[in-house]
Amino acid sequence: MTEKPKVGVYVCHCGINISATVDVDAVAEYAQKLPNVVVARTYSYMCSDPGQSLIKNDIRELGLNRVVVASCSPRMHEPTFRKAIREAGINPYFLEMTNIREQCSWVHEDKEEGTAKAKKLVKASVAKARLLEALESKEVDAEPAALIIGAGIAGIQAALDIADAGFKVYLVEKTPSVGGRMAQLDKTFPTLDCSACILTPKMVDCASHPNIELMSYSEVEKVDGFIGNFDVKVRKKARYVDFGKCTGCGDCAAECRVKDRIPSEFDQGMGKRSAIYLPFPQAVPAKYTIDPESCLFLTRGKCGKNPKCQEVCRAEAINFDQEDEIVEFKVGAIIVATGFDPFDASRKPEYGYADYPNVITGMEMERLVSASGPTGGKVKVFNSEEEIEPKEIAFINCVGSRDKSVGNEYCSRVCCMYTAKQAHLIRDKIPDANIRVYYIDVRAFGKGYEEFYDRVRRENIRYIRGNPSEIFKRGNKLVVKVEDTLTATPLEDEVDLVVLGVGLEPRADMRQVMDLLRLSQSPDRFFLEAHPKLRPVDTATEGIFLAGCCQGPKDIPDTVAQAKAAASSAMIPLARGKVMIGAQVATVNEATCRGCGFCVNICPYTAIELVTVNRFGNEVEVARVNEALCKGCGSCSAACLSDSIQPKSFRDRQILPQIAALGAMK
Amino acid sequence: MSAESQTFTERYDLLGCIQCGRCTGGCPVTVRANLNVRRFVNDAYYEEKLDELARQAEIWDCTACHTCAVRCPKGLKPLEVLLGLRAMIIESGKVEPTVRDALQSVLLEGNPWEKSRAARSDWMEGLDVKIAEPGVPVENLFFVCCTIAYDPRVQAIAKNIVRLLNKTGVDYAFLDDSETCCGSEVYTLGEEGLFEMLVEDNTEYFNEYSAKRIVTLSPHCFTTYNVHYPDLNKPVIHYTQLLDELLKEGKLVWKGDLPKKIVFHDPCYLGKQGGVYDEPRDLLKSIPGAELLEFERCRERSLCCEGGGGKMWVESESKKERLAETRIKDAKALGADIVAVACPFCVLTLEDAMKGLGYEEEMRVAEIMELLGEFIEA
């Protein structure tokens, strides 16, 4: 680098975001006097077209070879300005951004102090900018295939879109059938279409689509690699049923010795199944699975003389010797669509969910009102031994949502509406029932939702504003202890049935997927998107996308929309067939590296390995960075004992003068 | 920011409230008193209304059971608004003579019962009690509680635990008559200055003892130390937790049996506030012959006995059935022979209710230590 640095400094007003707290003109004036600075300017929105043109013109006319933009966090606009300076003919990595918004104007009130700090930050950036080196990013091929984890409505929709676009999709589902939570629902708000009717065709499509390889009852075990080139390892769990032979006739389940004794997951434990089972009649694939936890033969090694299922299966599909199978493949993008868990109502013991059978959750109500549910769609409860049709029914909203006492501060977004829908369905089934909904606020925000809420109220569903505090039993009745806050009346409301509008929680097993893909959580514990507004389906890891409730509570329309968004984002590398590899990666000085391996262990992206090289005739081990995997995070550099590994653009010789510049001022 | 410079709204985070009503919905005294704590949280936002609010008689109906605080979805403590209003009354000096005397007694004698400090360890008479000394290491440092120390009705709690400890060989020590009120009731009566002083003095006092932990006999002291004494340098447990440890280690051996039906009443300060539910039950279950029953409203849904919140010194205006009476009636309906509690206040309120209802012949209210005392081998 023999060329003398000629730095341009561009201070952004960001409307009044910066200029209200930082005297931008004073900063520019100050910058103008810094060593190597040729020009310093301010502009209202530097990221705008005219703002960028300003920089480009200066590069061309004043021969700038380094650019400092003092504006926002580099997260959003670093790519904008890189592109701009490249267009003007200089290396895109000759850019240094000074964050005088998030780290200055937004967090300070005093303009004088804010301005002083902005000056300091700009001085430090100029010090570093002079020492930047030209870097080149590379391109590698991308595998035209996608992995989708989870086959609920989000995973199914994303799979269909990507497959329809002509790319290969591996759709991995943990349970024996696709369909997820939506398959359990009866009707869907606000239009009341039957959930199964609109979902089943999609389920069938994704099993028969020539571009979709459906792996049900399977789990992703390992993911290596990077965008465009992920290596995936999937465990297909043993079904103990030959997938090719099983005709789905159901003779096995009918004869199973523990028939009707195993709580059905699909029916929320209210219905019972056999050890060999199809989760629900419309399950896809329509192949039976033996549950190894409850099968007599698999748990005790003995089931009568011979397992009944084996005896009756005409297709000879039962195979107790079946083992898990490991499948490996390569994909260019991954969509995580792992869904949610309903809030566990027993975590609010004051509602007595664990004690009283007539306190049920919304999910249980879905099965209870469903014609294919455990009661054939009849809503009934037990009073002691006697089976009765409930006449006094209370719904409670916000159970496990908007509630710090259980650690969930967020609104679950679906409970207001599913409660309204269930109240409507019960009104249909029990016309003379007294139905009330205890609410805090009714959030009917979606298309057609407020209209539906209006309709439901007029069906003589009483909405009482108050969040119940306690439920206990008095005789045969459940007592809901609550205040009607609109009249300031404390009530002890006696009812036959309480339906808890339980919210949505991150899945209990989400840690597994997090570790697998190195995803982060937002404060609500759902998976964190790259940007809450502008990159809502991306993650911090390129090539990995989020869809559905794993990212936060969502209704079905939003889930489908997000799934389609994730599919379209995932298809970008697949369609291009190439991906760019970042240039700001770690680099090893092999001459000084001692091969200790510290960096290998510390790298969160498994981007470093030890290789053997010949050093003056001796075989020695040194670290080597896989540039495609490296994110330039710098962890290795911080850990390195001999300063041999350093990220490009963040080398000691670049950042130490930057730090020194910060300290040199008063 | 110091508490003084904060407005009422800031101090109690009133703007965090969404008026959901869970506090009033769960408040046990709403069935007999006019108290609506949610409205106080709402109205206290208006500074100019505070004086009027403080004059409402119902602010003294709160038993400080903390159900409102435990249930609040936004992490607020609605009852503290009531205590803040009480503090305004205390400040003005216009309090019931009973309250005034109790507070003065805490200040002068270290207990609210107007007893002399010198008599605080009189209950020890005739017992071989190990006395703690500052700096001398001890595993379990016992804190007796003013009520247990002075009220002959509940002194057996302390006496029996000494007998039991001597029997089991546990390393323990009691404080002498320098032991001072934890301030639980001072706090709920709204005497903020005195409470602050007690926290400061007691913290300094305790921190001089080199004990592994403090064991309290009353749940009120237990929760007060755990919640309001941030600088205490040792953990505080309730005695049922210690005894449950000993039980699990096989160190508690009972002599004789008690073929009775026992129902356990969860004290608010132990259960709802302290999260201790299983230990007292395990102890009761360990009594040979005893059958443990459960109230419909037990554990997290337990009903308050109205013994806390300074109610020992403020009579409620309501003539409706006391919650303690409801509780005793429920116990009778269950067929319980004994209502077991783990709190001196619960003993006093429930026994009073039982006598009032005329159930003395067929029923008994007993603190767990009273019951266990009968089975300690001589």
Q: In sequence order, what are the beta bridge partners of B252? A: none
Q: A with B: how many residue pairs have Cβ under 8 Å apart?
A: 83
CATH number of the domain that residue B175 is part of? 3.40.50
User: Model ipTM?
Assistant: 0.93
Listed by number, the residues of chain B in 74-103 with a beta carbon closer than 8 Å to a beta carbon of chain A are 74-75
Give the total number of structural domains in chain B: 3
* Domain locations along chain A: 7-137, 145-237+324-339+519-576, 251-312, 343-505, 586-647
What's the gap in Å between the CA of A497 and the closest CA on chain B?
17
Residue B169 in domain: yes
Task: Please answer yes or no on whether B71 and A469 come within 8 Å at the CB atom.
Answer: yes
pLDDT of residue A664: 58
Task: Please answer yes or no on whether B25 and A440 come within 8 Å at the CB atom.
Answer: no
**B70 and A CB contact within 8 Å:** yes
Chain B interface test: which of A405, A483, A486 (most B C-beta within 10 Å):
A483
CA torsion angle A317 A320 A321 A322 (round to 10): 60
* Nearest CB partner across the interface for A483, out of B24, B67, B74: B24
The domain boundary, picked from B200, B224, B246, lies at B246
Q: Which residue has the higher pLDDT, A540 or A568?
A: A568
Give buried/exposed letters for A79-109 (b at 16+ CB in 10 A, else e).
ebbbebbeebebbbbbbbbbbbbeebbbebe
The domain boundary, picked from B196, B212, B246, lies at B246
* Nearest CB partner across the interface for A490, out of B30, B67, B299: B30
CATH topology agreement for domains A145-237+324-339+519-576 and A343-505: yes
pLDDT tens per residue across span A422-444: 999 999 999 999 999 999 999 99
Question: Between β-strands B261-264 and B291-293, what pairing exists: parallel, antiparallel or unpaired?
Answer: parallel
**B20 and A CB contact within 8 Å:** yes
Task: Please state, in angstroms and rounded to a whole number, the distance separating the CA atoms of residues A287 and A313.
Answer: 13
Give the pLDDT band of residue A154 (cuts 50, 70, 90).
Answer: very high
Listed by number, the residues of chain A in 452-471 with a beta carbon closer than 8 Å to a beta carbon of chain B are 465-471
Instruction: State yes or no: cis peptide before A285, omega within 30 of 0.
Output: yes
CATH number of the domain that residue B35 is part of? 1.10.1060.10
Chain B interface test: which of A402, A438, A472, A485 (most B C-beta within 10 Å):
A485
Task: Please answer yes or no on whether B20 and A405 come within 8 Å at the CB atom.
Answer: no
pLDDT of residue A666: 43
Question: What average pLDDT does this structure show over A543-555?
Answer: 98
Q: Tell me, yes or no, whether B227 and B258 share the same domain.
A: no
Give buried/exposed letters for B290-322 (b at 16+ CB in 10 A, else e).
bbebebebbbbbbbbbbbbbbbbbbebeeeeeb
**Taking CB atoms and an 8 Å cutoff, what residues of chain B touch A484?**
21
Residue B149 in domain: yes
Task: Please state, in angstroms and rounded to a whole number, the distance separating the CA atoms of residues B308 and B349.
Answer: 10
Q: Tell me, yes or no, whether B65 and B14 share the same domain.
A: yes
Nearest Cα to Cα of residue A215 among A197, A239, A231, A195:
A239
Question: What average pLDDT does this structure show over A194-205?
Answer: 96
Q: Give the residue ranges of DSSP H helices in A175-307.
A: 195-208, 251-255, 296-300
pLDDT at A560 over 60: yes
Q: Tell me, yes or no, whether B162 and B265 share the same domain.
A: no
* Nearest CB partner across the interface for B300, out of A349, A402, A441: A349
pLDDT of residue B4: 61
Task: Please state, in angstroms and rounded to a whole number, the distance separating the CA atoms of residues B183 and B229.
Answer: 11
Instruction: Quote the domain boundaries for residue B199.
Output: 98-246
Residue B368 in domain: yes
* Nearest CB partner across the interface for A483, out of B18, B25, B31: B25
pLDDT tens per residue across span A622-656: 999 998 889 899 999 999 999 999 999 999 999 99
Give the pLDDT band of residue A665 (cuts 50, 70, 90).
Answer: very low
Q: Tell me, yes or no, whether B80 and B146 share the same domain.
A: no
Contact B320, B32 (CB under 8 A): yes
Q: Tell me, yes or no, whether B302 and B223 share the same domain.
A: no
Q: Tell me, yes or no, whether B104 and B204 share the same domain.
A: yes
Listed by number, the residues of chain B in 190-229 with a beta carbon closer than 8 Å to a beta carbon of chain A are none
Question: What average pLDDT does this structure show over A365-379?
Answer: 94
pLDDT tens per residue across span B225-267: 999 999 999 999 999 999 999 999 999 989 999 999 999 999 9
Mean pLDDT check: name the lowest of A20-24, A201-205, A293-297, A659-663.
A659-663
Q: Tell me, yes or no, whether B105 and B226 share the same domain.
A: yes
Work out whether the CA dihedral B166, B167, B171, B174 comes out positive or negative: negative
Task: Please answer yes or no on whether A490 and B24 come within 8 Å at the CB atom.
Answer: yes
Q: Tell me, yes or no, whether B88 and B166 share the same domain.
A: no
Query: What's the CATH class of domain A343-505?
Result: alpha beta
**Taking CB atoms and an 8 Å cutoff, what residues of chain B touch A441?**
18
Q: Give the residue ranges of DSSP H helices in A338-385.
A: 362-369
Packed helices A415-429 and A449-458: angle between N→C axes, nearest 10 degrees? 40
Nearest chain B residue to A472 by CA distance is B297
Residues sharing a CB contact under 8 Å with residue A272, sequence separation 6 or more, in sequence order? A260, A261, A262, A263, A264, A374
Q: Tell me, yes or no, whether B15 and B54 share the same domain.
A: yes
Task: Please state, in angstroms and rounded to a whole number, the distance separating the CA atoms of residues A109 and A377.
Answer: 61
pLDDT tens per residue across span B68-100: 999 999 999 999 999 999 999 999 988 999 999
pLDDT of residue A2: 58
Query: What's the CATH class of domain A7-137?
Result: alpha beta
Task: Please state, in angstroms and rounded to a whole number, the distance separating the CA atoms of residues A162 and A147.
Answer: 10
Contact A482, A493 (CB under 8 A): yes
- Where chain B has pLDDT below 70, the residues are 1-4, 378
Superfamily, domain A145-237+324-339+519-576: FAD/NAD(P)-binding domain (3.50.50.60)
Task: Please state, in angstroms and rounded to a whole number, the distance separating the CA atoms of residues A395 and A420.
Answer: 9
Quick one: tokens of B164? 């039991």
Share of chain A above pLDDT 70, in %: 99
Chain A interface test: which of B19, B22, B27, B277 (most A C-beta within 10 Å):
B22
Residues sharing a CB contact under 8 Å with residue A322, sequence separation 6 or more, in sequence order? A238, A239, A240, A241, A242
**A474 and B CB contact within 8 Å:** yes
Residue B378 in domain: no
The domain boundary, picked from B224, B246, B268, lies at B246
Q: What is the DSSP string of A377-406?
A: T---EEETTEEE--SEEEEEEEESSSBGGG
Nearest chain A residue to B69 by CA distance is A405
Q: Give backbone dihedrals phi and psi of A543, rounded to 5 degrees, phi first.
A: 90, -5
| Domain A586-647 coded CATH 3.30.70.20 | yes
**A403 and B CB contact within 8 Å:** yes
Nearest Cα to Cα of residue A9 among A280, B57, A35:
A35
Task: Please answer yes or no on whether A350 and B26 come within 8 Å at the CB atom.
Answer: yes
Q: Tell me, yes or no, whether B105 and B241 share the same domain.
A: yes
Cα–Cα separations (whole angstroms), residue B314 to A101, B102, B218: 57, 11, 20
Q: Tell me, yes or no, whether B196 and B278 share the same domain.
A: no
**Taking CB atoms and an 8 Å cutoff, what residues of chain B touch A398?**
20, 73
CA-based radius of gyration for chain A:
31
Q: Tell me, yes or no, whether B157 and B222 share the same domain.
A: yes
**Taking CB atoms and an 8 Å cutoff, what residues of chain B touch A487?**
none
Q: Give backbone dihedrals phi and psi of B123, rounded to 5 degrees, phi first.
A: -60, -20
Residue A305: Cβ-neighbour burial (10 angstroms; 0-12, 13-18, 19+): exposed
Collapsing DSSP to helix, strand or coil, B33 comes out as: coil
Mean pLDDT check: name the lowest of A224-228, A347-351, A557-561, B42-46.
A224-228
Mean pLDDT check: name the lowest of A176-180, A204-208, A224-228, A381-385.
A381-385
